[in-house]
Amino acid sequence: QSVLTQPPSVSGTPGQRVTISCSGSSSNIGRNTVNWYQQLPGTAPKLLIYSSNQRPSGVPDRFSGSKSGTSSSLAISGLQSEDEADYYCATWDDSLDGQVFGGGTKLTVL
Amino acid sequence: QVQLQESGPGLVKPSETLSLTCTVSGGSIRSTIYYWGWIRQPPGKGLEWIGSVYSSGSTYYNPSLKSRVTISVDTSKNHFSLKLSSVTAADTAVYYCARVNWGSQFYYYYMDVWGKGTTVTVSS
Over residues B22-51, the pLDDT tens digits come to 999 999 999 989 999 999 999 999 999 999
Q: pLDDT for A63-99, tens place per residue?
A: 999 999 999 999 999 999 999 999 999 999 999 999 9
CB atoms within 10 A of CB A9: 12
- The mean pLDDT value of chain A amounts to 97
The partner residues of B40 in beta bridges, in order of sequence, read B48, B95
A22: pLDDT strictly greater than 90: yes
Choose among B59, B49, B53: nearest CA to A93.
Answer: B49
Contact A50 B47 (CB under 8 A): no
Mean of pLDDT values over A10-22:
98
SS3 assignment, position B74: strand
Do the Cβ atoms of A2 and A100 come closer than 8 Å? yes
Q: pLDDT for B48-100, tens place per residue?
A: 999 999 999 999 999 999 999 999 999 999 999 999 999 999 999 999 999 99
How many interface pairs between A and B have CB atoms less than 8 angstroms apart? 72
Q: Which of B45, B102, B106 to mutate: most A Cβ within 10 Å?
A: B106
Q: What's the start-to-end Cα distance of chain A, in Å?
A: 28
A40 CB within 8 Å of a chain B CB: no
A25 CB within 8 Å of a chain B CB: no
From chain A, pick out residues whose CB is under 8 angstroms from the CB of B107. Answer: 31-33, 92
A110 CB within 8 Å of a chain B CB: no
What is the distance between the alpha carbons of residues B100 and B113, in angstroms, rounded to a whole number? 8
- The single-letter code of the amino acid at A5 is T
* The predicted structure's pLDDT at residue A1: 84
* Cα distances (Å, whole numbers) of residue B84 to A15, A69, A105, B60, B80: 45, 36, 28, 14, 14
From chain A, pick out residues whose CB is under 8 angstroms from the CB of B63. Answer: 96-98
* The predicted structure's pLDDT at residue A58: 96
Query: pLDDT over 90 for what percent of chain B?
Result: 94
pLDDT band at B107 (very low <50, low <70, confident <90, very high): confident
Q: What is the DSSP letter of A102?
A: B
Contact B114 A35 (CB under 8 A): no
